[in-house]
């Protein structure tokens, strides 16, 4: 007995594989500079931990409603109304085991075999694989540095067919760090509105991690018609350094939430009850912790960007969000996997090959790590690249 057909076609996560190898090298005493992390290196802020501890100590240790604690669903709806101008109510929200599971549950609960899902590349590694598990078809639209790795309205229009069910939009983006401007969002929205059966899945998990004057416009806020056709997926992991808590959510029309709830009630049940109380505190208490983490990311981003630009043969579009640099390494090695394997084995620097994101000839380096590691690792990367170009 082997794996099911639907699993055979799925590629295991390359980002988790590289991070695991870097961790095991570290455990063996090797001094690895890891730029592979997809998570903030900070601890969860104290007031969020305290709220979960209090919930744990006051009996919130039982099963709860599959769709989430009513107070958290309400707090999420309030946040989306207040910050994103999206008129959701608690009934439009489902709390899930991370943003990853909100997308997985959405696809499993709503896609039929043969449905198409348009995904711009570079993409977050899990989108196409989740779509495949749901027996639907990922339609990948490549983008390049020339458009700052953003899909254009024409590209989107050409990718849509009568079978298209979803267009997946991720801004700020993992892996590129690019943020679509409000005008770019509105232009994509117009294309979606030309096609009645298409809905937008807007993954906004990096929403709060933005630099300079980059604005975040949630596509559902463009018009009431588009609001009805949008599903927002987000979570607490990135903005509040809560990756291990496994709390995310989807916001969508009620019939979609009901379908996801049916699936969740037979698969994961509710998200850890007392953890949800930490999430309520994250949303409802002052947001200074987010600003403090952002200030650190900003400083690290500037250093890493400066260092990468000083390496001949590499190029990098300045990102406006998230905590990654997306670097073109094609002049050094056309194979990003070979580049990253050699970099880890010989220079002890962990980076993620762009091929994992559907963009060969690139790598993703994360600056969610301390400045000392950034300085050392970037010096090693420079020596590594220079040796290969000479």
Instruction: Note the residues at the interface with ligand PLP (CB under 6 A).
Output: 38, 98-100, 124, 170, 174, 203, 205, 235, 237, 243, 248
| Minimum gap (Å) between residue 206 Cβ and ligand PLP | 7
Please, which residue, 39 or 375, has the CB nearer to ligand PLP?
39
Q: 201: which strand partners?
A: 168, 231
Query: Residue 146's CB: how many other CB atoms inside 10 A?
Result: 8
Helix, strand, coil: what percent of the chain each, to 5?
45, 15, 40
| Minimum gap (Å) between residue 168 Cβ and ligand PLP | 10
Please, which residue, 127 or 277, has the CB nearer to ligand PLP?
127
Residue with tokens 């670097």: 327
Please, which residue, 256 or 352, has the CB nearer to ligand PLP?
352
Q: Which helix (H) or strand (E) holds 133?
A: helix 126-133
Please, which residue, 244 or 312, has the CB nearer to ligand PLP?
244
Please, which residue, 19 or 92, has the CB nearer to ligand PLP?
19
Write down how long the chain is: 390
| Minimum gap (Å) between residue 119 Cβ and ligand PLP | 11
Residue 141's φ and ψ, nearest 5 degrees, are -115, 110
118-128 as b/e: b if 16+ CB within 10 A: bbbbbbbbbbb
Residue showing the smallest CB distance to ligand PLP in the complex? 98
| Minimum gap (Å) between residue 200 Cβ and ligand PLP | 15
Please, which residue, 227 or 323, has the CB nearer to ligand PLP?
323
Give the sheet arrangement for strand 230-235, strand by strand: 93-96, 248-251, 230-235, 199-203, 164-170, 116-121, 137-142
Residue 288 preceded by cis peptide, ω within 30: no
| Minimum gap (Å) between residue 238 Cβ and ligand PLP | 7
| Minimum gap (Å) between residue 97 Cβ and ligand PLP | 7
- DSSP classification of residue 122: S
């Amino acid at each position: 007995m082997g794996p099911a057909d639907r699993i055979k076609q799925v590629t295991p996560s390359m980002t988790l594989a590289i991070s695991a190898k870097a961790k095991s090298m570290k455990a063996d005493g090797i001094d690895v500079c890891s730029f592979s992390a997809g998570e903030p290196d900070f601890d969860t802020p104290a007031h969020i931990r305290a709220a979960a501890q209090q919930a744990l100590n006051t009996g919130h240790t039982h099963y709860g409603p599959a769709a989430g604690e009513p107070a958290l669903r309400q707090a999420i709806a309030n946040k989306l109304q207040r910050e994103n101008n999206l008129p959701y109510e608690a009934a439009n929200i489902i709390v899930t085991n991370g943003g990853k599971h909100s997308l997985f549950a959405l696809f499993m609960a709503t896609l039929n075999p043969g449905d198409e899902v348009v995904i711009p590349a570079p993409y977050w590694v899990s989108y196409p694989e989740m779509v495949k598990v749901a027996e639907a078809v990922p339609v990948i639209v490549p983008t390049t540095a020339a458009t700052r790795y953003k899909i254009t309205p024409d590209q989107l229009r050409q990718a849509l067919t009568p079978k298209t069910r979803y267009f997946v939009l991720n801004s700020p983006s993992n892996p590129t760090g690019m943020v679509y401007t409000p005008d770019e969002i509105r232009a994509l929205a117009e294309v979606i509105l030309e096609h009645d059966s298409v809905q937008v899945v807007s993954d906004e998990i990096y929403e709060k991690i933005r630099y300079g004057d980059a604005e975040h416009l949630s596509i559902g806020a463009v018009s009431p018609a588009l609001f009805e056709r949008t599903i927002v997926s987000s979570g607490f992991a990135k903005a509040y350094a809560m990756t291990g808590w496994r709390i995310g959510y989807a916001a969508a029309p009620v019939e979609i939430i009901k379908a996801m709830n049916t699936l969740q009630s037979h698969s994961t049940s509710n998200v850890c009850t007392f953890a949800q109380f930490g999430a309520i505190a994250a949303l409802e208490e002052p947001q200074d912790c987010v600003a403090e983490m952002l200030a650190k990311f900003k400083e690290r981003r500037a250093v890493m960007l400066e260092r990468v630009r000083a390496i001949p043969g590499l190029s990098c579009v300045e990102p406006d969000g998230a905590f990654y640099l997306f670097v073109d390494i094609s002049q050094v090695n056309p194979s990003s996997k070979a580049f990253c394997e050699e970099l880890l084995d010989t220079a002890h620097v962990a980076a993620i090959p762009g091929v994992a994101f559907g963009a060969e000839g690139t790598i993703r380096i994360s600056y969610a790590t301390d400045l000392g590691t950034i300085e050392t690792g970037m010096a090693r990367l420079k020596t590594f690249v220079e040796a290969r170009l000479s």
